[in-house]
Amino acid sequence: MSFSLPLFSSASAQKPVSGLSQRSRMMEYDQPLVWVTILLMLFGMVMVYSASISLPDSPKYAAYKNSHFLMRQSVFIAASLVAGLLAFRVRIETWQKLAPYLFVLTLVLLVLVLIPGIGKGVNGARRWLSFKMFNLQPSELMKLFVVLYAADYTVRKQQFMHKLTKGFMPMTIAIGVVGLLLLLEPDLGAFGVIVCIAMGILFLGGVNGIWFGGIATTLVGIFSMVILLSPWRRERIFAYLNPWSEENALGKAYQLSHSLIAFGRGELFGVGLGGSVEKLHYLPEAHTDFLLAVIGEELGFAGVLVVVTLFYWIIKRSFEIGRQAIAMDLTFAGLTAKGIGIWIGVQAFINMGVNLGLLPTKGLTLPLMSYGGSGVLINCVGLAILLRIDYENRVLMRGGRV
């Protein structure tokens, strides 16, 4: 019976414990991703409060309290965290099955937005469905669901991705329908983000390079024609090219010129939290589209650099998670992870580019940070799905089941 003694030796008894400990650590969720997301939302909430605290001084917001937008944003963040927790509990396989239905449902919502009496218009744009407690922006839903749909489509049509009629064209037509509905709102910025998401996933999924280049050229032509045939969009482009002329600075480039003034005042370390002058009714939509300008003025280049670094980390992490999933032959999960990275990256880049005068003015918010319920909630759900992909990767690498 002496052969049984080594099985119960002190050294051997520690091995299973060490293995369990190592396995437990491996199966933990990606804590840095969670904390970076929460940090961006809380940072955004502070800056939304700073940017909106003086709004009740204007007649438009006279009925609001100084903390109105702070309280609403805190509710949005709390609801988004709950939604993210629920989304994390859904298996990626389930998201894949639901992807086509969610895409079609959001198309129906985009149609409802355009119906008078149902859709809500603000500043000449009809982009919201009004409910008693909140306003829903279907274009925000579409950004996430087009990620899922494009990833699922690429997996289902993998053998046809090098064929024009069976592989590439059906997806192009679907995105074209989405684009038409968004242009009728109008929401050219959201259309641009959605096109970049779909094209990026198709490219990563192995679509024919010649067709990809051809459709990219076609889309550039379509965007150019939309701008040329729309007088007010054309005026915005010309104003963006020369924002400091008196006519533009007082007209179409008013927001851009004051945004640039805000960055100029901030210099390296800013004028101090709460010390912005541009938010005092000079810079319109300071708590939504131009939140980065307030950050630049109050916290300077250092504050903007922190924001850029945090977004870069999320994008980099999403592509790492995607590569890991694809290496394990989880193509849908991998493309979804990379698609989420493209979505967050493109929208953040466009918003930052608009604030800094690198791109023409678009009605796009800064993900996770700008004021708004639909945007923050959908961003959280998207990142929760990314977190779930990483979690399932870790479980499968240790031989577990999801």
pLDDT given at position 123: 67
Pair 367, 348: CB distance under 8 Å: yes
Instruction: Tell how far CA 396 is from the center of its chain.
Output: 28
pLDDT tens across 144-175, in order? 999 999 999 999 988 777 776 777 788 888 98
pTM above 0.75, yes or no: yes
CB burial readout 223-261, b (16+ within 10 A) else e? beebbeeeeebeebeebbeebeeeebbeebbbbbbbbbb
C-alpha gyration radius of the chain: 24
pLDDT tens across 261-291, in order? 999 999 999 999 999 999 998 998 899 999 9
Q: Which tokens go with 51?
A: 């940017």
pLDDT given at position 126: 80
**Alpha-carbon gap, residue 164 to 211, rounded angstroms:** 8
Omega of the bond prior to 16 within 30 degrees of 0, cis?
Answer: no
pLDDT given at position 55: 93
pLDDT given at position 208: 66
CA geometry: angle 215, 219, 222, nearest 5 deg: 135
Pair 139, 182: CB distance under 8 Å: yes
To which residue do tokens 């969720």 refer? Answer: 29
DSSP 201-255: HHHHTT--HHHHHHHHHHHHHHHHHHHHT-HHHHHHHHHHHSTTSHHHHTTTTHH
pLDDT given at position 372: 87
- CA-closest candidate to residue 298, choices 319, 270, 318, 321: 270
DSSP 119-173: EEEETTEEEEEE-SS-EE-HHHHHHHHHHHHHHHHHHHTGGGTT-IIIIIHHHHH
Residues of the chain falling short of pLDDT 70:
1-27, 123-124, 164, 208-212, 214, 232
